[in-house]
Chains A and B, each alone.
Chain A
Amino acid sequence: MLQRKDLVSIEGLRAEEIRSLLDTAGAMREVIQRDIKKVPTLRGKVVALLFYEPSTRTRFSFELAAKYLSADTVSVVAATSSVVKGESLLDTAKTIDALGADAVVLRHPAAGAAEFFSRYTRAAVINAGDGMHEHPTQALLDLYTIEERKGRIEGLTVTFVGDILHSRVVRSNIWGLRKLGASVRVCGPRTLLPPGLEEIGVSVFTRLEDALPGSDVVYVLRLQRERFTQGLLPGIEEYARLYGITTERLELAGPEAIVMHPGPLNRGVEIDAGVADSTRAVITQQVTNGVAVRMACLYLLMRRENDDRAYH
């Protein structure tokens, strides 16, 4: 059972809590397959979506999740709020608390922002991505999708390919996968592999030829164009040649391996169109499952009465 006020990281969750979130997501998945998707579970509750970074899919996914559960949503995007007037995150948290939101979905460019925010509000805080730190609901939807396709998580080998250094998706997934018994590999150019990975039990590779054999899941990460101007990589063609996932390369991982990507895709860079559109890719399932997983998070964090909540 999930017994906490906020969801700020996967690192802080126990395996049973992750399990309970995934099981609840299964039930939600059934709800969104119905003709009439709306259930009254969170009627009268308010979910504030607070986005300090551009995001289409995560915000849309959370908003749908809240609406399917009959919660009211308020969406605040950084550029239109008092953020531009220089209000601090601390004061925004206190304001949101005073306005009485029951849950806050927060995306912010600073690592630790969700944890910081949660200290100053009674609302349940869901981290929708804080800098390079974590993106817990992404990891949960990934776990859900892997289990849906593979029937299990324990004993699998999941290989992340690309920009490990800047990826909050990888950080959340490392904890989630390891807590549920999977092995994690990462593969990318040395400049995008931070130190400290081996110390937390992750196998590190720089060559796909070494990393892919034995992988059950090949998780392709989005490559931001700015990595070239930052001097981390020499050029896009070289990256595509060394780390782009092509149909031929995927053969190294074996016929049963599935391909995942958090989106949005750079076709022809980190992933070939042929792979992205193949039956081995579960990228669209990830998106669908994202709504179910976020419904589960909102439901489990908000079902308790307000007076159960306390500042921590």
Chain B
Amino acid sequence: MTGLIIKGGTVVDPVSGNLFQADIAVVGERIASVGKVPEAKDATVVDARGCYVLPGLIDMHVHLREPGYEHKETIATGVAAALRGGFTAVCAMPNTRPVCDSAATVGFVLKRAKEAGGARVYPVGALTKGSEGKELAPLEEMRAAGAVAFSDDGRWVRDGQLMRRAMEYAAMLGVPVISHCEAPDLSAGGVMHEGRTAFILGLRGIPAAAEEVAVARDIILAALTGCHLHVAHVSTAGAVRLIREAKARGLRVTAEVTPHHLTLTEEAVKGYNTNAKVNPPLRTAADVAALKEGLADGTVDVIATDHAPHAREEKEVEFDAAPFGMVGLETAVGLVMALVREGVLTLPQLVAKLTVNPARILGLEAGLIREGAVADITLIDPETEETVEPERFASKGRNTPFAGWRLKGLPVGVVAGGRWFEMRPRPASRRTRERK
């Protein structure tokens, strides 16, 4: 029986909340057993002593840029970045060129992902044709081709009636709608959070109200239609409050937050740092505190990166002219491990937000370490530290405001589709070196 044995690690089960010592045997693409696994002569053994062994991480909000913007990222480089960041699955947002609004494009993304190998790619289909907010996209056709959610990410569906119809249709198909909640009438022309720093820098502000008005409308439409609404990248205290309220009323509303909105404030824009230009914008310290509270009390279900690669020349311009977005796949784990050290989340809670929660939202068979489960596994060494060096990213995008940051707690390797990918030296191999 050939296969792979992950030996001596601490398994984190996000469902039970338990941590336990166990070996994991992988055969083919499935977990064959969890517990005490006997040595097998022909198996590859990964010494996982000193590592946390987690279900493979899922990033449900990623921009892979292909087709159409291959100078920013390709599916192959995006998948490589995912693996290097410890993610075994990503959701690809549809704002490509052409927009992913047909079965053909969904199929293209899946085909490219298969060629790339490694992390799984789940396409998100556009909600409206061309994401133009005018006509419904062929939702059932895309679902059948493999789309796991629908979204006009980056563009809020302004027309309330169309959004209602889209949500009714998606509810019928049992597929969640992911909404990028920002009312364009209120954010008009803004490039950063509206407040003190925007005034000082002379930059146009995006008020928190732009997000909150949109979240409120979409929650009301979720109540009307029974559609599962997933609010993308929540960034304001008011939006967290609205979602908390909706959940208390029993509505099918879930939400995600990015590592950068949990880590940075509007101050990061100072010096006109275009790598800190992101949509929704970095907010205030009070918003960051509210996002953490929302994570802790379960209002915010998921951590997702909104990985948005751009070419260097696109960001090396005047602040107003720079596109929104920052890369996130390769810094996410190191940033969010700080939440455990700070006491915001327990380790199993954090892991749930990166595994079983997105899997449940999207209806994926993933996020569990169990006999018979899909063998997607992430190993994290909580002690390893590294300085962020964008030149070493697997992503084509180097647009991160975290360059030079010292991160602690990093992925050392993943099992994706039954294959072992090693990213960093494991504690066991470091010990071995020390002994020599």
Chain A residues engaging chain B, CB cutoff 8 angstroms: 11, 88-90, 108-113, 115-116, 130-134, 168, 171, 194-197, 199-200
Report the minimal beta-carbon distance from B401 to chain A, rounded to whole angstroms. 15
Q: Could you say which of B195-203, B387-395, B409-417, B423-431 contacts chain A?
A: B195-203
B202 touches A171 (CB 8 A): yes
Q: Could you say which of B74-82, B86-94, B315-323, B324-332 contacts chain A?
A: B315-323
CA distance A196 to B205 in the complex (A): 11
B202 touches A133 (CB 8 A): yes
Chain B residues engaging chain A, CB cutoff 8 angstroms: 194-205, 271-272, 313, 316-321
A112-B318, A115-B272 as given contacts; A200 in contact with B196, CB under 8 Å: yes
A112 touches B195 (CB 8 A): no
Report the minimal beta-carbon distance from B324 to chain A, rounded to whole angstroms. 16
B199 touches A196 (CB 8 A): yes
Residue of A112, A133, A197 most packed against chain B (CB within 10 A): A112
B318 touches A196 (CB 8 A): no
A196 touches B195 (CB 8 A): yes
A194 touches B198 (CB 8 A): yes
B203 touches A111 (CB 8 A): yes
B205 touches A112 (CB 8 A): no
Residue of A110, A113, A133 most packed against chain B (CB within 10 A): A110
Residues of chain A lying within 8 A (CB to CB) of residue B198: 194, 196
Report the minimal beta-carbon distance from A115 to chain B, rounded to whole angstroms. 6
16 CB contacts below 8 A, A to B, read A88-B317, A90-B313, A90-B316, A111-B202, A111-B272, A111-B318, A112-B202, A112-B203, A113-B318, A116-B317, A116-B318, A116-B319, A133-B202, A194-B205, A195-B194, A200-B199
Q: Which residue of A lies closest to B207 (CB)?
A: A195
Residues of chain B lying within 8 A (CB to CB) of residue A200: 196, 199-200
Query: Which residue of B196, B197, B205, B319 contacts A110 across the interface (Cβ within 8 Å)?
Result: B319
CA distance A110 to B194 in the complex (A): 17
Report the minimal beta-carbon distance from B223 to chain A, rounded to whole angstroms. 32
Residues of chain A lying within 8 A (CB to CB) of residue B199: 171, 194-197, 200
Query: Which residue of B202, B204, B205, B271 contacts A134 across the interface (Cβ within 8 Å)?
Result: B202
Query: Which residue of B197, B317, B320 contacts A90 across the interface (Cβ within 8 Å)?
Result: B317
Residues of chain A lying within 8 A (CB to CB) of residue B320: 109-111, 131
A111 touches B319 (CB 8 A): yes
Report the minimal beta-carbon distance from A124 to chain B, rounded to whole angstroms. 19
Residues of chain A lying within 8 A (CB to CB) of residue B272: 111-112, 115-116
Q: Which residue of B lies closest to A175 (CB)?
A: B200
CA distance A151 to B330 in the complex (A): 59
Residues of chain B lying within 8 A (CB to CB) of residue A134: 202
A196 touches B200 (CB 8 A): yes
Report the minimal beta-carbon distance from B40 to chain A, rounded to whole angstroms. 58
B318 touches A11 (CB 8 A): no
Query: Which residue of A90, A112, A196 contacts B319 across the interface (Cβ within 8 Å)?
Result: A112
Closest 7 CB pairs of A and B: A133-B202, A196-B196, A112-B272, A132-B202, A110-B318, A111-B202, A196-B199
Q: Which residue of B lies closest to A194 (CB)?
A: B199
Report the minimal beta-carbon distance from B85 to chain A, rounded to whole angstroms. 30
Report the minimal beta-carbon distance from B3 to chain A, rounded to whole angstroms. 53
A90-B316, A110-B319 as given contacts; A131 in contact with B202, CB under 8 Å: yes
Contacts A90-B317, A108-B318, A133-B202 aside, 19 further interface pairs with beta carbons under 8 A come to A11-B200, A88-B317, A89-B317, A110-B319, A110-B320, A110-B321, A112-B203, A112-B272, A112-B318, A112-B319, A130-B202, A132-B202, A132-B204, A194-B194, A194-B205, A195-B196, A196-B196, A200-B199, A200-B200
